[in-house]
Amino acid sequence: MAGTVTPNRLRELAEFRAESGCAISLYLGFDPSTAALIPAASTKINSLLDEAQKSTFANRSELTHEQKRGLQDDFDRTRRFLSEEFKRDGVRGVAIFTDGLDNFWSANALTEPVADQVRVGPDFYLTPLVPLLGRGDGAVVAVVGRERGRVYLLRGGRLEEVADHTEEQPGRHDQGGWSQARYQRHIDELAAAHLRTVADELDRRVRAGATQVVVLCSDESRAELDDMIARETRSAIVGWAPGEPHASTTELLRRALPFLERARLEEQSEALARWQEEAGRNGRAAAGWQQTLEAASDGRVELLLFQEGVNREAYQCPSCRRAQIQAGACPLDGTQLEPRRDGIDLAVHQTLAHGGEVRSLPRERHELGPVEGIAALLRY
């Protein structure tokens, strides 16, 4: 499996555009109550691929024989991968992006279920991946004590150990002729050196790009560790909690997830507050479809915000890729605009392609309701 959804992977997918072939995007979700085997899903796999083969884009009269053959090869490869190679192993869904004539194939394990759907077009359909961002992938979970020092990275919904700085400290039977006070100072110095090693490890992880850290440790170790870590690392810590010495990775993840989810919700609220402040003073903010698509096409969007499920038809220039909600000719080069049924995907692509970020809000949040469910913070 090629990997899970990250901002970098999403940006790479957004930058792709079919040149020789056609871009196929297939999403498949799994019911966690069913067996972890793909044959149970064979019927809907065949149904999705049949839908793709009958789609308007896949049956355009201007497609060459080579492009039609390429599409069929991509459908066959996708079916073989899902029926013969793919292993669920706790995965809740899969997203496949392929265009064989342009040498592109990407299969992505999903830790959250997605709706079954398929698209064939000039680029990949990415909107279903946006709600999966910020779900903790790439977060660091550390189990720390005066002897313990295990560091894990959350990947694909599982904790993978990336460092073990556990050190067995000498016991009382090792005291020998030392005085009790001198021996205790020695033990404390060893523990402090150990915690310093763990602190350095956490600092390295944050400098390498980790933005969320959960630390499981005692109150005593927390006080010592907090004094040793860098300010940047302290800001990245989204939760402290007591940790069990011999807890399994499953239990550790169960303890960490609430902190990661709370951090995600807080990030949403902070982004909305920033947008509301900018919009309230007619500052660097876009509101509604027309303003947001225009800003995204101009590369001005720093952060795109939209409510899950929002969508409308829009139009895109096949030459420069500019998007807008009105039909007609492109205002930049005069090319006739083409209709696209997924206007939200155009906004996502334009934002990512110009280096911006994207965030979706759950359906129960209605702050963007008055502005058609879509808005953006702007660079200028």
Instruction: Give pLDDT, residue 170.
Output: 59
**Alpha helices in the chain, H assignment, sequence order:** 7-15, 42-54, 65-80, 180-207, 219-228, 231-236, 249-280, 288-297, 343-353
Phi and psi torsions of 141, nearest 5°: -120, 125
Instruction: Give pLDDT, residue 266.
Output: 93
127 token code pair: 């909107």
User: Residue ranges of the chain with pLDDT lower than 50?
Assistant: 1-2, 35-36, 172-173
> What's the Cα-to-Cα distance from 265 to each of 34, 64, 133, 272, rounded to whole Å?
30, 48, 12, 11
Instruction: Give pLDDT, residue 4.
Output: 63
Instruction: Give pLDDT, residue 192.
Output: 83
On whether the CB atoms of residues 287 and 303 are closer than 8 A, the answer is no
DSSP 28: E
Residue recorded with tokens 């440790």: 217
Instruction: Give pLDDT, residue 32.
Output: 62
Instruction: Give pLDDT, residue 145.
Output: 85
361 token code pair: 């809000």
Instruction: Give pLDDT, residue 144.
Output: 93
**Cβ neighbour number for residue 367 with a 10 Å cutoff:** 17
> What's the Cα-to-Cα distance from 83 to each of 47, 88, 310, rounded to whole Å?
14, 11, 33
The distance in angstroms from the start CA to the end CA of the chain is: 39
Instruction: Give pLDDT, residue 189.
Output: 78
Instruction: Give pLDDT, residue 270.
Output: 95
Instruction: Give pLDDT, residue 176.
Output: 54
Q: CA torsion sign, 353 to 356 to 361 to 367?
A: negative
